[in-house]
Structure 1
């Protein structure tokens, strides 16, 4: 009877980000185990070595070192990753094919070239897909802000360029908003940097939970965030941001010492248009943000040409 696999358990976005580096290293280790397994298989097929009894079992894909790592990871942060899920069928299919080869070898029956090539094609495909998973995690580490879980500035230029190109192609508006947390230094000074980090994470999660699936939030630097809103005019965005600003103002944030604080933010909005480019559009949003700060903070200003 095939062994029962543990259920997939999903982790939070922040937890997944924190585990990325560990997962990258574990994939390296798992692939080393896979390569050793592959050598043992060839030794059994070519050198008349005795096959590992586990490789003759129907659940051999669960028994090998890679399989043990894989099904443990179903509970450890990668279970919800689509590319990770794809590996299961590839890994099982590879073991099914090699089991047939080993059965033929054990029975002293000839192994067809087609069956061997199918197994090797599967093994190569499996390794490539595993490496793609690893590269995906590396990209995530390089482009995601480790504290807040938002995209960082390295990712911002690329993603904003994609949205600008889409806006030009579809002739739909695209607006950006630069946000700065008001009096953030006072929070650090009064409660400490741990509290400041907590505020940054809370606010970034606040906006992430309320944005549409195709809106994007980036950590621009320090206590500043840049938000991108495809298909939205400056006027429409002003209404949305004012609503979010009011909700943010009412949001209670628990400090490490048990006290509750409320924070506000200032916002600058600008249109992202092709004739001036991304950098100048961000400059416009920055000027609008300065206007919001000069107007007493906790307000929204829109760049007007």
Structure 2
């Protein structure tokens, strides 16, 4: 997940699209120069040409630091630099009246295809964060949750892997909102979710199930393993302070309910199981984890 606010991401996406559009214009000019055997722009044959085109200027000067450090950014940066190196080779042959072969064109076009692929990957990454994530907490949306759980449920049905899910609910959130204000309550939600995400594996995911509840998917785990993971998170969560303009810091706790995705019941019913287990944790005094079993539904 990118640790960048929504406004910055929207601005970055707009800048990226404009830079890509300008880069396509550069490609058209390059093709025209080669076909017409026109004098080339000397900046295009410089060793650092990739830093001075419109996209390079955005890469190295305007893009948010957190975006530049994102895994999807490095392949795009590399393919962009390689594309300019190939373009410089074509232009150097043009200016020295050396024949440009079909192999030269093919290599350039392969580089161009790879560059465009990396562009689309980064665009989808940013758009996915903007439109499939809750802007307050960074958790993924219900739509993303439904898609992911259906996929995981299918894998469970095919005996590919097991999957545990957990429902997390902050304790005394209404009291927090009423006493310190909704801004503090929102901050508590954001702090809690971002901490949970940091403690999980890259392929575990956190979704905003509703205003106060969050669903955690942990593929490849059984209930014993997921219980240990959630308990570790729960115990450490209490030590994290929520920023508040008051004499004392605010500390939060959460209650968790665990259940398995099961082959013979729907994902919705499995979510209900985890939800019921979470309410059992609330009934047990809060700040604890409960695993669903049939006795919970009977209570």
Answer yes or no: same fold by TM over 0.5: yes
Distance in 2 between the 1:302 and 1:162 partners? 23
- Provide Cα deviations, 1:170-198, integer angstroms capped at 9, x if missing partner: 56542222121122122112212211111
Q: 4+ runs of 1 displaced by more than 6 Å?
A: none
- Over residues 12-70 of structure 1, what are the superposed CA-to-partner deviations in whole Å (9 max), with x where a residue is unaligned? 84227663322221111111221221222123223343211111222222222222222
The aligned residue for residue 134 of structure 2 is 145
- SS across alignment from 1:15: coil
CA contact (8 A) 1:264 1:298 kept: yes
Query: Could you say if the C-alpha distance between residues 296 and 239 of structure 1 is closer, same or farther in structure 2, counting changes exceeding 3 Å?
Result: same
**How far 1:242 sits from its partner (Å)?**
4.2
Alignment partner, residue 55 of structure 1: 44
Say yes or no: does 1:131 pair with 2:133: no
Q: Which digits, 9 at most, give the CA deviation of each residue in 1:116-155, with x for residues without a partner?
A: 3432332243223212221222122222221112222222
Q: CA deviation at 1:205?
A: 2.4
Determine whether 1:207 maps to 2:196: yes
TM-score, with length taken from structure 1: 0.84
Whether the 8 Å contact between 2:2 and 2:70 is mirrored in structure 1 is no
Match of 1:161 among 150, 157, 174: 150
Cα distance change, pair 38–243 in 1 and its aligned pair in 2 (3 A): closer
Is the Cα–Cα contact under 8 Å of residues 5 and 135 in structure 2 kept in the other structure? Answer: no
What is the total number of aligned residue pairs between the two structures? 294
Partner Cα separation in structure 1 for residue 162 and residue 109 of structure 2: 50
Q: Describe the shift of the 1:185–1:120 C-alpha distance in structure 2 as closer, same or farther (beyond 3 A).
A: same
Stretches of structure 2 lacking an aligned partner (at least 5 in a row): 295-299
Pick closer, same or farther for the CA change 1:131–1:210 going to 2, 3 Å.
closer
Aligned-partner Cα distance in 1 for 2:121–2:203: 24
Match of 2:70 in 1: 81
Q: Which residue matches 2:279?
A: 290
Distance change >3 Å, CA 258–CA 303, structure 1 → 2: same
RMSD of aligned residue pairs (Cα, Å): 2.7
Q: 1:8 — aligned with what? A: none
Which residue of structure 1 lines up, in the alignment, with residue 243 of structure 2?
254
Question: Secondary structure of the equivalent of 1:77?
Answer: helix
- Tell me the secondary structure at the aligned position of residue 257 of structure 1: coil
Q: In the alignment, what sits opposite 2:217?
A: 228
Which runs of 5 or more structure 1 residues have no equivalent in the other structure? 1-11
